[in-house]
Amino acid sequence: MDIFKLLTQFIDKFVYYSLDILPYFFVATIFGAFIQSYLSFNFIRKFVNKRFLSPIITVIFGSSAPVCSCSMIPIAQTINSLSKSYAPAIAFLISAPILSPVIFFLMLGMFGWKLTVFRFVFGFIIALITAYIIDIIFKKPPSLPMFSSGGQNLSKWQAFKVAFKEIFIGTGKYVLLGLLIASAVAVLIPSSLVTKFANFPFSYLFITIFSIPIYVCSGEEIPIAKSFVDLGFTQGQALTFMLASAGICIPTISATFKLFPKKLAIFYVLVWFVGSIIGGVLFDLIF
């Protein structure tokens, strides 16, 4: 294929992905900076350090937040900075990209109530189980720095600007790297290739692998999955695609390795990988 044509397609994809995600990422950064600078830190610290309740609360919060799998990172960064455990941030990261009111109604309209309810119940359970396991296995060092409101000498507006810069630049560079990689992969690997694996014995595994570079914003995976169903996917295979593409897209992976220790980030990615397969297989077995 002509190199100029490939370059043009890469630029088009990068611009498309960037326009798709940056508004969400910008709003999420503002939200995270606002939490750091304007809200009561004593209250937030008390809230996120309720060992049993905090993952439940952050899952509920994540399922109501209109953010995609990348723009949720700044909010998770703030939650993580205020907690003595990694569990609340992980619970939020798992629930935010796959559970929201928008996704609920899109799913209901395109797939009906069975797959819609299954996705929400399965996502809620996976988020909580993973958070509680992480709370036991991965202990957060007490010496980790906590975000502050910028010191007593800073006004809340000055503290907000400092927090915004830290979140936007610190996390944004990893999101940018992920967007560049995702754009390149999207150009080099045609989406039709994913469909060919639907009839393979290990189709769910292959679907998960090839869903990772297919970057989608929150809710965007639903019409794509519906088109795959029209081409021959089962609804369970469509669910595997939706979970994997929304939860472990390349920008999210790169940002997660910045936010958490390497072993925890790997565990987080593996949970998404295995969970996406289990979710699809379970749905097809049950229904």
Q: What is the pLDDT of residues 159-185, one digit of tens each?
A: 888 878 877 787 677 677 767 876 786
Residue among 86, 80, 91, 4 at smallest CA distance from 36: 80
- In this predicted structure, the answer to whether residue 19 has a pLDDT above a threshold of 70 is yes
**Long-range CB contacts for residues 160-165, cutoff 8 Å, separation at least 24:** 160/33, 160/34, 160/36, 160/37, 160/38, 161/33, 162/37, 163/32, 163/33, 163/36, 163/37, 164/29, 164/30, 164/33
What integer pLDDT is reported at residue 266 of this predicted model?
93
Contact between residue 141 and residue 148 where contact means Cβ atoms under 8 Å apart: no
What integer pLDDT is reported at residue 3 of this predicted model?
84
Contacts of 108 (CB under 8 A, 6+ apart): 116
C-beta atoms surrounding 205 within 10 Å: 17
Q: Where are the domains of the chain?
A: 3-286
pTM: 0.74
- In this predicted structure, the answer to whether residue 204 has a pLDDT above a threshold of 80 is yes
DSSP structural state of residue 52 = T
Model confidence pLDDT, tens digit, residues 111-149: 989 999 999 999 999 999 999 999 999 988 875 444 444
Contact between residue 21 and residue 68 where contact means Cβ atoms under 8 Å apart: yes
How many CA atoms does the CB half-sphere of 141 hold within 13 Å? 5
Least confident of 70-84, 208-222, 228-242: 208-222
pLDDT: which is higher, 132 or 100: 132
**Tokens of residue 259, six digits:** 């936010």
What integer pLDDT is reported at residue 36 of this predicted model?
67
